[in-house]
Amino acid sequence: MKIRTAALAGVLFVSGIAVGTAAQKIATPAYRDKPQPDAAFALLSGAKVLAGKGSWERIAIGRVYYLGGHKAEGQAIFDEVLGNDPDSSDLFRIGRVYREAGEWERAKPLLARYADANPKDETQLAEIGAYHLMNGDRAGAEAYYDRAFKGKSKPEFWALVAAAGGYLNVAPQE
């Protein structure tokens, strides 16, 4: 028992040093007195260290690159995530980035794959419907709304808000 406790304490200590060292590098004001893109890249570099292999975290970093005008860097991250057996939530998140970038045709297949993998996710189905409506596809939107609300005696609040927003060209809250 004492050996296991000591071993566990050693592992935690070494892990703490690694995290502390990474945090120390990130905490350095690498963004001060630099041109804005360089400051952003310095901060994103620190974020990459903290993200590790987390797909949601890496997608968030890719989003900043992609929407910040550095599409190649963002796309490289998305391709890496998509190339490694992504969870359906990864498809959804990357689809949202493409939609936010005004690239509906790139977003649509990823969001459709998410919807097929999550047929009971009322809120996300309504959100996808809203995106269809906002891109001029009312029939497609209402098909997603029908899927979202099918058999529901009491629809989910956020699904209703997302669907309503679509009719007023207001993107769902992310």
- List, as one string, the DSSP characters of 99-118: HHTT-HHHHHHHHHHHHHH-
Q: What is the pLDDT of residue 152?
A: 77
Residue 130 Cα to chain centre, angstroms? 18
Cα separation, 152 vs 111, whole angstroms: 22
Amino acid at 135: N
Would the CA dihedral through 20, 52, 77, 172 be positive or negative?
negative
Q: What pLDDT sits at residue 22?
A: 52
DSSP 157: H
Exposure b/e, 79-105, CB count within 10 A at least 16 = b: eebbeeebebbbbbbbbbbbbeeeebe
pLDDT along the chain (174 residues), means of 10: 50 47 57 91 94 95 97 97 96 98 98 97 97 98 96 90 97 88
Measured between alpha carbons, how far is 98 from 106 in angstroms, rounded to an integer?
6
Q: Dihedral (C-alpha) 23, 29, 35, 36: value to the nearest 10 degrees?
A: 50
Composition of the chain by helix, strand, coil, percent to 5: 75, 0, 25
Taking CA atoms, 115 is separated from 11, 24, 67, 148, in Å, by 41, 41, 24, 10
